[in-house]
């Protein structure tokens, strides 16, 4: 009767004990609680919330269902970053090698994409040979040799979160601040990160669109990390429009390689420079903003960050030639342009719609086991605040045949062009520590 009691306690606004939350998670993982019972509990929590003690108990219970790694030490802390996900978000591919090239080890376990938001593992799988499924020993070995590792979420780290997440995904209980916070922080604890920088997105392409709710999620995760001995900081970053130009797997790898090679890409370079600064400072707290920025700029201009990425990727099996000549990466056969039908200033480039267009040409998946087209995607040429004239190419749809009209419609509707001038949104709106 424990699960029924836990459901009614949450319905009546009572606080669960640590032991009660722990038992619930372990009983669910061990098959003593059915999916429908756990779903009822999750749905109740999604409606009535949980306080920080319950959220902490949930995070720890997830961690205790699996292994816990320890990759860093007090003298050489390991930094991790986590994005709540978005459209065209290739920040991991850029900031992890930049920070590692500055001498700070980074360990990053990433996920696959689902729906309109992409996943880093899918993007990296467009690189021939690159292996993302690493066990704990391989994680340790790559981290030690390369100073960085990016890998898929390992099955033995916080498996309680993975099974609960699958249930949340199909019961509309993902969008709950305490459930998201416990899920994310449990994975950071399990991988043994010493410091975490959280990239919390807001805007229509984000997990939580509303700015105030995203800020609350950021504060909850920073507070939860602190309570559990994990130093976290959060950045609130813009996802009202896609991040940068490329949306789609190989297209995003190419854009990340260009940024690492020194190209300035609007919407990517600024956000990644700030994320890199905050990650460096989380490991080296005495570093001023100016000194951190200088190191980041130097890592890129000297070629060290790009070389760091290539060396790491090769260690995990990548064909280096494809990264040195991105023309060898998967590419779509056809390109369909979408043009402006009037003059004016761009007021909106809906990230959700651009992500939806990517999904329609196969760059994303609608169910967990659906195949992906690594070459397909969208290149967005213009951003909020740009002035365009009728006929300007707003975006290119890269696809491999089939009916491209639904994607064209989505991209067309993503753009709102008006007569009045428009100020672009800030790439990073706040920093919470």
Chosen residue from 9, 52, 167, 174 binding ligand URA by CB under 6 A: 174
Q: Which two tokens stand for residue 427?
A: 């790439």
Alpha helices in 65-158 (DSSP H): 91-101, 120-124, 136-146
Q: Number of helices (H) and strands (E), helices first, in the chain?
A: 17, 13
Binding span for ligand URA by CB under 6 A among 130-138, 179-187, 299-307, 409-417: 179-187
The catalytic position among 110, 183, 282, 350 is: 183
CA distance 248 to 398: 9
CA distance 275 to 199: 8
Cβ at position 229, least distance to ligand URA in Å: 20
Quickly count: other Cβ atoms within 10 Å of residue 408's Cβ: 18
Touching ligand URA, residues 365-404 (CB under 6 A): none
- The answer to whether residue 168 is catalytic is yes
Per DSSP (E only), the strands in 20-105 are 79-83
CB nearer ligand URA, residue 51 or residue 294:
51
Cβ at position 184, least distance to ligand URA in Å: 5
Cβ at position 217, least distance to ligand URA in Å: 9
Query: Which residue number has the CB closest to ligand URA?
Result: 183
Cβ at position 102, least distance to ligand URA in Å: 26
CB nearer ligand URA, residue 201 or residue 245:
201
CB nearer ligand URA, residue 189 or residue 310:
189
The catalytic position among 81, 108, 123, 187 is: 187
- The answer to whether residue 288 is catalytic is no
- b/e map of 133-143 (b: 16 or more CB within 10 Å)? ebebebbbebb
Chosen residue from 183, 249, 281, 308 binding ligand URA by CB under 6 A: 183
Q: How many residues does the chain have?
A: 433
How far separated are the first and last CA of the chain, in Å rounded? 41
Q: Which two tokens stand for residue 8?
A: 């009614």
- The answer to whether residue 39 is catalytic is no
- The answer to whether residue 53 is catalytic is no
CA distance 89 to 256: 10
Which of 104, 98, 426, 152 has its CA nearest to residue 262? 98
Q: Taking CB under 6 A as the rule, does residue 180 contact ligand URA?
A: yes
Q: In what order do the strands lie in the sheet with 246-247?
A: 246-247, 377-380, 393-399, 334-339
Touching ligand URA, residues 70-89 (CB under 6 A): 84
Cβ at position 352, least distance to ligand URA in Å: 16
Dihedral sign from CA coordinates of 51, 54, 60, 63: negative
- The answer to whether residue 183 is catalytic is yes
Q: Taking CB under 6 A as the rule, does residue 163 contact ligand URA?
A: no
> If you ran DSSP here, which 8-state letter would residue 424 be given?
P
Q: Taking CB under 6 A as the rule, does residue 158 contact ligand URA?
A: no
Binding span for ligand URA by CB under 6 A among 32-40, 50-58, 172-180, 193-201: 172-180
Q: Which residue has the tokens 């959220």?
A: 55
Touching ligand URA, residues 313-352 (CB under 6 A): none
Binding mask 195-214 for ligand URA (x = CB under 6 A): ------------x-------
The catalytic position among 22, 23, 168, 201 is: 168
Residue 152: strand, helix, or coil: strand
The catalytic position among 22, 23, 81, 82 is: 82
Q: Which residues are catalytic?
A: 82, 161, 168, 183, 187
Q: Which residues bind ligand URA (CB under 6 A)?
A: 84, 165, 174, 179-180, 183-184, 207
């Amino acid at each position: 009767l424990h699960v029924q009691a836990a459901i009614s306690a949450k319905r009546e606004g009572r606080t669960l004990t640590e032991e009660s939350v722990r038992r619930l998670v372990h009983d669910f993982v061990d098959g003593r609680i059915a999916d429908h019972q756990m779903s009822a509990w999750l749905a109740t929590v999604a409606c009535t919330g949980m306080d920080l003690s319950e959220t902490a108990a949930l995070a720890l219970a997830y961690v205790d269902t699996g292994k816990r790694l320890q990759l860093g030490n007090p003298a050489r802390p390991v930094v991790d970053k986590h994005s709540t996900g978005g459209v065209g978000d290739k920040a991991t591919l850029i900031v992890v090698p930049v920070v590692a090239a500055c001498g700070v080890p980074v360990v990053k376990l990433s996920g696959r994409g689902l729906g309109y938001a992409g996943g880093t593992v899918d993007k990296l799988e467009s690189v021939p040979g690159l292996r993302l499924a690493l066990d704990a020993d391989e994680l340790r070995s790559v981290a030690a040799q390369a100073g960085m590792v990016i890998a898929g979420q390992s099955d033995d780290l916080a498996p309680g979160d993975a099974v609960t997440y699958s249930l949340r995904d199909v019961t509309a209980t993902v969008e709950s601040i305490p459930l998201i916070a416990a899920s994310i922080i449990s994975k950071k604890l399990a991988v043994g990160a010493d410091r975490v920088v959280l990239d919390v997105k807001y805007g229509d392409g984000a997990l939580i669109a509303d700015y105030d709710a995203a800020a609350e999620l950021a504060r909850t995760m920073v507070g939860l990390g602190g309570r559990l001995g994990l130093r976290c900081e959060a950045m609130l970053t813009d996802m009202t429009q896609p991040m940068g130009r490329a949306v789609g797997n190989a297209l995003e790898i190419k854009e990340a390689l260009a940024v690492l090679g020194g190209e300035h890409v609007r919407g990517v370079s600024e956000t990644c420079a700030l994320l890199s600064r905050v990650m460096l400072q989380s490991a080296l707290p005495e570093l001023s903003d100016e000194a951190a920025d200088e190191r980041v700029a130097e890592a890129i201009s000297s070629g060290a960050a790009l070389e760091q990425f290539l060396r790491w990727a090769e260690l995990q099996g990548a064909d280096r030639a494809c990264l040195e000549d991105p023309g060898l990466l998967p590419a779509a056969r056809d390109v369909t342009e979408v043009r402006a039908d009037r003059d004016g200033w761009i007021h909106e480039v809906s990230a959700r719609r651009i992500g939806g267009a990517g999904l329609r040409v196969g760059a994303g998946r609608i169910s967990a086991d659906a195949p992906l087209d690594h070459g397909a995607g969208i290149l967005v040429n213009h951003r909020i605040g740009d002035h365009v004239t009728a006929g300007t190419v707003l975006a290119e749809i890269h696809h491999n045949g089939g009916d491209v009209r639904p994607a064209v419609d989505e991209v067309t509707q993503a753009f709102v062009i008006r007569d009045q001038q428009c100020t672009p949104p800030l790439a990073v709106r706040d920093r919470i520590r």
